[in-house]
Structure formats: C-alpha cells, structure tokens
Amino acid sequence: MKIQNQIRQSAYKADGFIKKYQKLIKDTVIPYQYSVLNDKARGAEKSHVVKNFENAARALNGEEAGDGFYGQVFQDSDAAKWIEAAAYSLVNFPDKKLEKLCDGLIDKIVAAQEKDGYLDTYFTIKDRDKRWTNLLEAHELYCAGHMMEAACAYYEATGKNKLLKSMLINAEHIYKVFITDGHEGFPGHPEIELALLKMYRLTGNKHCFELAEHFINKRGTDPDYYKKETQNRSWTVWGNNANDNDYQQSGVPVRDMTDAVGHAVRAVYLFTAMADLSSQTNDKKLFDACKRLWESITEKRMYITGGIGSTVHGEAFSVDYDLPGDTAYAETCASVGLMFFASRMLEYEIDSKYADVMEQAFYNTVLAGIQLDGKRFFYVNPLEVVPGISGVASAYRHALTQRPGWYACACCPPNAARLISSFGKYAYGENDDTAFCHMFASGEVNFKNGVSLVCKTDYPYGFTVQYEVKKGGALSIRIPGWSKSFGLSINEKNTYVKKQNGYVFLNVNDGDCVTLSLDLEPRFVWASSRVARLTGKVCLLRGPLVYCFEGVDNGGDVLSLALKRGGEVKAFKSDDEILKDTVKLSVKAVRRKTADSLYSDTPPNETDTFAIAVPYYTWGNRGENQMRVWLDDI
C-alpha cells in the first residue's frame, strides 16, 4: 500500500505531553541555540556559524573575510537545522519576533551564495578552487541538503520563498556539476538525497528528483571512487580512510545492500532516501533492500532504547548482537534518523513494526538527548554510567554522566529540536482515502483527505486514547506491539476489529468518539542470549518507556541491585520536583553486599529491598550518579 505521509505540519496542533515539549523547544531551546549560533551563549562551545556566513559574503564582495572560517567543515548545517526547527515552531506558535530572526539569518545565508548557485562558507572563505574535489570528507552536499530541508520547512510555515528560491538555484548548480557535466562522485555523508525528494514534492522541480535518484543509484557502483578521489588531491579535512567502504556505505550498489554498516547517521539518512524513492517509484527491488536493512538494524543491531550505532569508533554500527550498555554510542542524531527511516517505510507499507520503532526511538533516545529544562544536551546515550569511570577512563570517555551545554560538533541539539517541533509529521499520515494514527499524541489534526479529529490522551503515562471525530471517514489506528491486549469502543460500545499488520481499520462518522485502551502494566524484558553483555539481565518497560535505575533513588548504589524475576512492580506518580508529571516504578529486588576487598571467597550478603526506576529519558537531570537500564535477574 502506498501512502503519502506528508500532511502539512499545520494540520496538527499539539496538546498534552507533546505540546509541553514543543513549548520547551520554542521558549528555551530555539532561543538558546540562536545565541550559540551568534557566539553569545555563556560557557558554550564557540559556534561562529553566523559569522561564517557574514565573512563569506564579504569574500564574495572582494573584501577581507573578517576573521575567516571557524568550526567544523559542516558548520553551515547548524544554521539550517535551527531554521528548520524554528519554522516548525512558527506553525505551532506564531511568533513575529522569531520570524524576524529567521528572515535576518536567511538574508545572511543568501548573501553568502555564489553567482553560480554554490553555497558553502568553508570553501567560499578558505578554498574556492577546491570545490567538489573532496566529496568523501568535505560535506558540501550534506550542508546543501540540510539547507534545502530548512528552505522547504520555512516556506511551508510562512509562505516566504527567499531561501527556497536560493536552494532551487543551488540544486540547479549541483545538477549541472553531477548530471550535465558528469562529475563521477556521490555524497560522502548522505543527506541531500532525502532533502532533494522533499524539494521535489514541494516544488515539482524534476531536476531535484533526478538528482536524488542519481545519487542513490550511483552509490556503490564504483567501490574505488573515494580511493581515486583521494589520490587526485593533495589535501584532506580529517584523513578519512578512503578504503573503508563499510564506513561510508559505498561498497555495493544500494539494491544489493544486506547489513546496516558504518557511520550510523549516514546509514539511516541514506536508507530514508532509499525508502522514500522506492515509495515514489514503486521500486520493489529498492524497497526489498530497505526491508533487509531495517531487519538488520531492528532485529540485530538496535538497543532497547531505540539507540543505534553501538561503537564510538566511527560513530558506527558494530556487528550483530554487539550491544554493550556502558560503552554505547547511540548518537541522538542516529535515533532521529531512524525515525525518518521508519516514517518513509510506512509510506510504502503499512505495518506497525515501523511505527513501534519510531515511537521507541522518540520516547527514549531522542528525548534523552535534551535535559528536562532544555538547556543541556546529550550527543551520546549510554545505558549505564558509573561516575569515576564513565567520561573518564579511555574506553568510556564518550559516555558522559551529565549533559554538556553545547558541542563543537553540534549536530544533535538542533536535530532533536526540529524532530520534536515537527512531531505531527510522524504521528499522523494519510493516503487518498484513509487517515492513519501512527503514534498517540494529544491535539487536533485535520487531514487533507477530509478526516478531522481531536485526540485526548495522557500518553505516554496514560494508556487510554480517545479520538473525537469532527469529520468522519476511514480511520486506521496502530495497536502497539508492546501492548499485550487492547480494547476498542465506538460511542462507548465495545467493538471488535481484527488487526491488519498491527493496525485496526475503522469507518467513523461525524461526532463519533473512538476509545482505545492499551495495556498499562509494567513488564520485564530480557535480551537474546546472543547479546553477550546482557546475559542474565533484565530491564523494565511501561508502555513505550524504557526505565532505568539511578543512584539518587536507590541509596546511591545501583550496581549491587538485582531484580526478582516476576516480582511485583508498582507504578506511582513522582513527587520529585524535577521529575514531576512522570511515573516511577517500584520493583522487588535484592541488594548484594560484598566484602570490601577487590576479590573475596565470601559470598555476598543478600537483602530484600525495593528498587526505584525512572523513565530513561529523564536520567541525568538530578546530578551525577550511577545509572543502569539492565540489572541482574534472579
């Protein structure tokens, strides 16, 4: 079944849990990130993003380029993601002041665009003669892709097309280089492929579609391309290994791919575009490759939190079942990208397994990437931390116990911001005759096909979802895979509807009230015995939320705790001021007291106790302390 999961963001007006987060993005995250882009945030890593655009414009005018270029080679993308997040926020919360800030930044971006349409401050300021000679490392196409996404979002939000026109000119420049003039390369970091398809859907520009298709089809057809490119230049950005085809997903043509390998963010951005293209063209072979890659990730290489990319070495996928919790990388951006991939898979095939993972990634890893006050951010999302080891010992240096304020490589904070602000695009979808509810989110949604409804729910802490139908039609609602049972009623009359691929399909009339009741009981989850690091361990979930144990709730020590198998689990509202509006879990456990010596032949002294768990996304908000998702199972 082919659907278009592209309802405009204006169709969804959030309420409840999602609105709270979208308001946090508007009130705190977007203003803070803007101050970072302008180097005005105290204690944050220097960004220089705005200055880079100003300096590039000076260089184009024949002037001295101020203090030059500063930052990562992909620094421009931080501005693009900020504009995109701001655009979605403007739809949610109209704000003339924010719109004016966006317009001002867009003016500076467009002023930095070269006459032939090229746009990249790194090369305009530093090395204009080296354009398009280092696709492996230089991220020109990556930056262009993010700016295209921003242009689409801002036009849809405001009707203003200055940035969109600029990026159409940029797309024509790239088309000339890679199609007309026959440049052999393809993106080192996939991103522009999915962005070009967005541009095509919005504008109908066929060159955007052809260019996206070209980059996808070209990838992997010459496994030695990056090696030859490296030999033809005498410079490098950071010395990427041109022979590591797994890392850059360039060893085989995309339709022959079988396993998710390499840099996790690059992978899921590429897979998103592949799934999108297969939906647009009904390319079954391409979609079959996407299904293999989806299964590789979700059945063998994904954390219980929806985190992906288990190793710090290359921010990459490792091998099947290598999912250590204490050294997990699980970059926030990778889970954002996994949600992108899932949403595009749903365009081709309605199956709840895609929305299940989309939800899993969102409520756990993506939300964990932002502190509850919106002022600090995780790049890496481990499933276990121990102060004094995590963030300190060489093998654990990336696994921090507290969220930093910003990063020199600052891809994750604006990525999470744009995802949360556009949540409606993932929660709801439609085709010509059916409205789909993929995730549960309070608020009002008006579908293009005419269906209109109001959703009321306390999800993810309440498990009753009510849809008040303002305008009827065909409605399909996902039944989560985690819910062992469910109840469905229409106008308070119990209704039995058989699930189809995890969805129920209903015909509803104006004024109907549809109520879905899901399983509210906490549950124990065990990993496959093939995951060596999790043998003999168990974790707790309730609804879509993974729970973890922090020292602050458990006498400072979670390392000595083990959970009693089948022990009673009680859910209760938190009275903690920082974790207000959340639900904690209390579970029967055993605390093992060992001898003080490093090793002892005396068995541990075991004492019955209760362990307290909190939602994983909330961890690290109450000071530095131990945290574990998986505990021993006894």
220: left (phi > 0), else alpha (psi -120 to 50), else beta? left
**Beta-strand runs (E) in 289-397:** 384-385
Supply φ then ψ for residue 566, to 5 degrees. 75, 5
How far is CA 493 from its chain centroid?
38
The DSSP code for 389 is T
- 468, β-bridge pairs: 454, 513
Which one of 411, 437, 455, 539 is the catalytic residue?
Answer: 411
Q: Are 87 and 22 in contact (CB under 8 A)?
A: no
CB count within 10 Å of CB 602 equals: 8
Which one of 315, 331, 430, 550 is the catalytic residue?
Answer: 315
Q: Are 612 and 553 in contact (CB under 8 A)?
A: yes
Sole residue written with tokens 């058989």: 498
The DSSP code for 241 is -
Task: Tell me whether residue 411 is one of the annotated catalytic residues.
Answer: yes
Q: Are 203 and 219 in contact (CB under 8 A)?
A: no
Angle between helical axes of 96-111 and 30-37 (0-180°, round to 10): 30
374: left (phi > 0), else alpha (psi -120 to 50), else beta? left
Helix residue ranges, H only, 327-423: 332-348, 352-360, 367-368, 412-421
To the nearest 10°, report the CA torsion of 554, 555, 557, 562: -50
Q: How far is CA 447 from CA 21, 69, 103, 347, 435, in A?
A: 23, 45, 29, 16, 7
**Burial of 271 from C-beta contacts in 10 A (0-12 / 13-18 / 19+):** buried
- Retrieve residue 81's tokens: 């993601």
Would you please indicate which residues are annotated as catalytic (active-site) residues?
A: 315, 411
